[in-house]
Amino acid sequence: MKKNNYKQWELKKRLTLVIFAAVFSVLILSSTLFIIANYFFSNKNFEENAFDITRSVASRIEAAIVFDDAVTIKETFDQLLLRTDIRQVNVYLDDRYLYVSKGETNPPIYFNEAELCHANSLFSKVLSICHSVTVEGKIIAHTYLVFTRDKLFKRQYTQIYILIVSIMISLLLSLIFASRVSDTLTSPLHKLAVLADKVAKEKRFNLRGKVYGTQEVRLLTESFNQMLDEIETKDDELLKYTQNLEQAVEERTNSLNHALEQATQANAVKSAFLANMSHELRTPLHGILSFARFGIKNYTTAPPDKLLRYFDRINTSGERLHVLLNDLLDLSKLEAGQMELDKQTTSLREIAINCVAEQDALLLEKKLTLFWDTEKCDTNASFDRSRIAQVIANLLSNAIKFTEEGKSIHISFALTHYQNQAAIKMSIQDQGIGIHEEELALVFDQFVQSSKTKTDAGGTGLGLAICKEIIALHNGKIWAESVVGGGTKFSFLLPV
């Protein structure tokens, strides 16, 4: 800022000096010319006047000389000597010489031309004029008058003094004028410079300069403002671009993080799946192998009923392995989207009745009572019979599996809407051990068992995962909810 101020002052000083020098030169030149002209013309006037006086004196004394009138000559001389600008009067007759002077101790008397000329120079204090008095063409006398320029010089000196004083005042005024003019000229420029400095240092591109001053400065300010407009627009664009870029980077980072999370999760799921699989496969396989080994080892000595038990265990383990492999195949097919549905319009109730009939022995075994809903609605819909039967069978077997003896299971149907479409809802409600609220959704994941049943060596935990995939393939929905007073209610929706 200091530097800028200095520069501004430099400019202002220079401008003031230039204006001042110009005004000063004009003043001095005009004053000098005035003094010279004034001196010249007033001197000329003085000389003309002196010549007139000399001539008139000559004509007045002409008659007096002819008539030898000494009184008139004296009167004329006295009158002349009363004048302050006349210092000496001389009259030469042929033989006489009349001399009249005012108290001059050594009055100048010039007798030759050279002396006279020198005394009459412009700068001489005196002006001597000699004039002949002629009567009928004959010179009878000469008049000789000496004029003093004292008064003229005094007047001229006074004029010069006044001029000097007025020049001094004019100088002062021109200095003030020059300063004001340069201030008016440089002030907008200075403000513009300060603004530019502020914009450059503080990066405040929203600032604008006030358009005023001379045309050039106004143009400069307008151009500067226009430049700032463009910079501001570009700056805004840059800011937006940076923000967008930051946002894009953030989004990309988030999606990468999400992908990484998903990959980690998938990896964990894969590990868990493999662990579960190896366990689920090994257990029945181990059973088959160990009972087969027992049989081979003891087939000669072992009683037939023991051998039968071995075969039975081998058969059970084989069945279990078979079911597991079927389930795994189903699930992988469903997940790969390779499961093809054979949809037919069928009654859902009918399918449910068949499923119940298949598991009747289990119901009887556990002395469970099955209730059907009393209000019978139309349960016809288009779906794959065997797949939906698989869903109902798993839900029913779960209900039987996790419900104590002597309790009941309730099956119901309802007509409803799902995703703006007519749908059938089927529910299987038991009075079993129930599922914790926070696990109601989790039990639909592969190999997941509720914390209430984990200790029991139940199924593999694939049934509900398969149900979920089958129902999703039918564009339906399946969910579980806890029943007040104990038990769980599994429901699914099938669009009609």
Nearer to ligand ATP, 27 or 285 (CB): 285
Q: How far is the CB of 293 from ligand ATP (least distance, A)?
A: 27
Six-digit token string for 391: 């869903």
Give the interface segment with ligand ATP, choosing from 47-55, 162-170, 237-245, 394-402 (CB under 6 A): 394-402
* Helix, strand, or coil (residue 26): helix
With binding defined as CB under 6 A, does residue 495 bind ligand ATP? no
Q: Which does 433 bind (CB under 5 to 8 A by kind): Mg ion, ligand ATP, none?
A: ligand ATP
Single residue of 221, 317, 359, 398 touching Mg ion by CB under 5 A: 398
Single residue of 459, 469, 470, 478 touching ligand ATP by CB under 6 A: 459
Please, which of residues 286-345 interact with ligand ATP by CB under 6 A?
327
What are the CA-CA distances from residue 456 to residues 224, 315, 371, 443, 459 (Å)? 84, 21, 27, 15, 9
Which long-range contacts link 347-352 to residues 24+ away (Cβ below 8 Å)?
347/379, 347/380, 348/379, 348/380, 348/381, 348/383, 348/388, 348/413, 348/424, 348/426, 348/494, 349/376, 349/379, 349/413, 350/379, 351/385, 351/388, 351/389, 351/392, 352/392, 352/411, 352/426
Cα separation of 81 and 258, whole Å?
129
* Helix, strand, or coil (residue 143): strand
Q: Which does 221 bind (CB under 5 to 8 A by kind): ligand ATP, Mg ion, none?
A: none
Q: How far is the CB of 478 from ligand ATP (least distance, A)?
A: 11
Q: Which does 435 bind (CB under 5 to 8 A by kind): ligand ATP, Mg ion, none?
A: ligand ATP
* Helix, strand, or coil (residue 241): helix
With binding defined as CB under 5 A, does residue 449 bind Mg ion? no
With binding defined as CB under 6 A, does residue 280 bind ligand ATP? no
Q: Which does 460 bind (CB under 5 to 8 A by kind): ligand ATP, Mg ion, none?
A: ligand ATP
With binding defined as CB under 6 A, does residue 284 bind ligand ATP? no
Q: Are strands 138-148 and 86-93 parallel, antiparallel or unpaired?
A: antiparallel
Termini Cα distance of the chain: 83
With binding defined as CB under 6 A, does residue 409 bind ligand ATP? no
With binding defined as CB under 5 A, does residue 432 bind Mg ion? no
Single residue of 402, 424, 478, 494 touching ligand ATP by CB under 6 A: 402
Nearer to ligand ATP, 244 or 326 (CB): 326
Number of residues near Mg ion (by CB under 5 A): 4
Nearer to Mg ion, 221 or 359 (CB): 359
Q: How far is the CB of 244 from ligand ATP (least distance, A)?
A: 47
At residue 1, what is the residue type?
M
Cα separation of 79 and 71, whole Å?
12
Single residue of 213, 284, 434, 459 touching Mg ion by CB under 5 A: 459
What would the DSSP string read from start to end of 283-312? HHHHHHHHHHHHHHHHTTTS-HHHHHHHHH
Single residue of 80, 129, 195, 399 touching ligand ATP by CB under 6 A: 399
Q: Give me the sign of the Cα torsion angle 381, 386, 390, 393.
A: positive
Q: Which of 193, 188, 182 shows the shortest CA–CA distance to 1?
A: 193
Place of tokens 């929905």: 477
At residue 405, what is the residue type?
E
Q: How far is the CB of 317 from Mg ion (least distance, A)?
A: 18
Looking at the DSSP assignment, which residues form a beta bridge with residue 408?
369
With binding defined as CB under 6 A, does residue 464 bind ligand ATP? yes
With binding defined as CB under 5 A, does residue 90 bind Mg ion? no
Q: Is 295 exposed, middle or buried (0-12, 13-18, 19+ CB in 10 A)?
A: middle
Residue pair 285/321 in contact (Cβ under 8 Å)? The answer is: yes
Q: Would you say how long the chain is, in residues?
A: 496
Q: How far is the CB of 453 from Mg ion (least distance, A)?
A: 10
Six-digit token string for 426: 């089927």
With binding defined as CB under 5 A, does residue 76 bind Mg ion? no
Give the interface segment with Mg ion, choosing from 170-178, 360-368, 388-396, 487-495 (CB under 5 A): 388-396
Q: Which residue lies nearest ligand ATP, judged by its C-beta?
A: 459
With binding defined as CB under 6 A, does residue 450 bind ligand ATP? yes
Give the interface segment with Mg ion, choosing from 49-57, 200-208, 216-224, 395-403 (CB under 5 A): 395-403
Q: How far is the CB of 255 from ligand ATP (least distance, A)?
A: 32
Looking at the DSSP assignment, which residues form a beta bridge with residue 99?
90
Q: How far is the CB of 356 from Mg ion (least distance, A)?
A: 16
Give the interface segment with ligand ATP, choosing from 103-111, 168-176, 408-416, 425-433 (CB under 6 A): 425-433
Q: How far is the CB of 489 from Mg ion (least distance, A)?
A: 16
Give the interface segment with ligand ATP, choosing from 114-122, 177-185, 215-223, 442-450 (CB under 6 A): 442-450
Q: What are phi and psi of 19, to 5 degrees?
A: -65, -45
Single residue of 463, 476, 487, 495 touching Mg ion by CB under 5 A: 463
The most distant pair of C-alpha atoms in the chain lies apart, rounded to whole Å, by 210
With binding defined as CB under 5 A, does residue 188 bind Mg ion? no
Per CB under 6 A, residues contacting ligand ATP are 327, 394, 398-399, 402, 430, 432-435, 443, 449-450, 453, 458-465, 488
Per CB under 5 A, residues contacting Mg ion are 394, 398, 459, 463
